[in-house]
Amino acid sequence: MKKINKIAVLHIIIILAIYTMPWWLDWKLIVVYGLFNYLQIQILGGCVISQLQFKDKHEGFYRHYINKYFPQNKITDKHLNLLLDYILPIVLILVGYIVQH
C-alpha cells in the first residue's frame, strides 16, 4: 500500500479552500489574503507549505505535478509564477467582489 503524503493532502485542501474563497469569504478578506500571499513570496521566497513538502525553495506544488503528469509541457517558471503569484489573486478578488455584489 502506498504511503499517503499528509503535507500533500493538506496542500490540496488549502488550495481548494483558496479557489473557493469568493463564495465563502468576504472579498475584502480575499484582498488581505492576496497581500499576505505576496509578502510570503517576497519574504520567504515562495509558499511555506511547498517548502515543507518538497524541501526545496524552488520546487512548487504546481510545477512538481505539471512536470510529473505532463512531462512534455512548455510552461515556463516565469509564466507559471506570473499566473499563480499575480493573476490568480487578482481574479479571486474580482470574482469575490462580483459574486458578493
What contacts 71, CB < 8 A, 6 or more positions away? none
pLDDT at 55: 82
Task: Encode 4-30: b = buried (16+ Cβ within 10 Å), e = exposed.
Answer: eeeeeeebeeeeeebeebbeebebeeb
| Per-residue pLDDT tens over the stretch 57-94 | 778 999 999 999 999 999 999 999 999 999 999 999 99
Kindly indicate the confidence band of residue 28, based on its pLDDT and cuts at 50, 70 and 90. Answer: very high
Kindly indicate the confidence band of residue 32, based on its pLDDT and cuts at 50, 70 and 90. Answer: very high
Q: Indicate whether 30 pLDDT > 80.
A: yes
| Residue 72: CB atoms within 10 Å | 5
